A and B are shown apart, each in its own frame.
Chain A
Amino acid sequence: MNLDWSIVWEYRWAFLFGVMNTVLLAVVTMLVAIPGGIVIMLMRNSPVRALRGIATVYVETFRATPLILLVYWIFYVMPRFGVHLPPFLTGVVALSLIVSAYNSETFRAGVNSIRKGQSDAGLALGMSKWQLQVKVILPQALRRVLPAFSNTWVSLFKDTSLVSVIAVSELSYVSLQARAESFRIFEILTAMAAIYWCLGYPQAKLVDWLNRKYEVKE
Chain B
Amino acid sequence: MEFDFSPIFENWRYLRDGLLITISLSVLSIIAASILGGAIGLARVYGPRWLAGVLAFYVDSARSIPALVVLIWMYFAFPLMVGISLPPFWAAFIALSAYIAAYISEIVRGGVLSIRSGQTRAAKALGMSQNQTILKIILPQAVVRILPQYGNMLSITVKNSAICSVIAVPDYLQNSGIVAAQTYRPLEIYTVALIVYIAMILPLTRSTDWLYSRLSHLGRS
Binding site for B on A (CB under 8 A): 1, 60-61, 63-70, 72-73, 76-77, 80-81, 154, 158-162, 164-165, 172, 176, 179, 185-186, 189-190, 192-193, 196-197, 199-201, 203-205
Contacts and interface: CB of A to CB of B under 8 A. Distances in A.
A162 B70 CA distance: 12
B65 A73 contact: no
Contacts of A196: 64-66, 69
A192 B173 contact: no
Contacts of B129: none
Nearest to B180: A76
A33 B81 CA distance: 41
Contacts, number: 121
27 contacts: A1-B83, A63-B155, A64-B205, A65-B198, A66-B197, A68-B165, A69-B162, A69-B197, A72-B173, A72-B186, A77-B186, A77-B187, A77-B191, A80-B1, A80-B186, A154-B63, A172-B66, A172-B72, A190-B73, A192-B73, A193-B70, A196-B64, A200-B63, A200-B64, A200-B65, A201-B60, A204-B63
Given A61-B198, A204-B60, A176 B72 contact: yes
A204 to B, nearest CB: 5
A1 B81 contact: yes
B77 interface: yes
Contact of A193 (B69, B163, B194): B69
B68 A67 contact: no
Contacts of B24: none
Interface string B39-83: 000000000000000000000110111111110110011001101
Given A64-B197, A68-B165, A186 B77 contact: yes
B144 interface: no
B82 to A, nearest CB: 9
B169 to A, nearest CB: 12
B190 interface: yes
B178 interface: no
A69 B193 contact: yes
B194 A162 contact: no
B65 A193 contact: yes
B65 A197 contact: yes
A86 to B, nearest CB: 18
Contacts of B191: 73, 77
B7 interface: no
A73 B66 contact: no
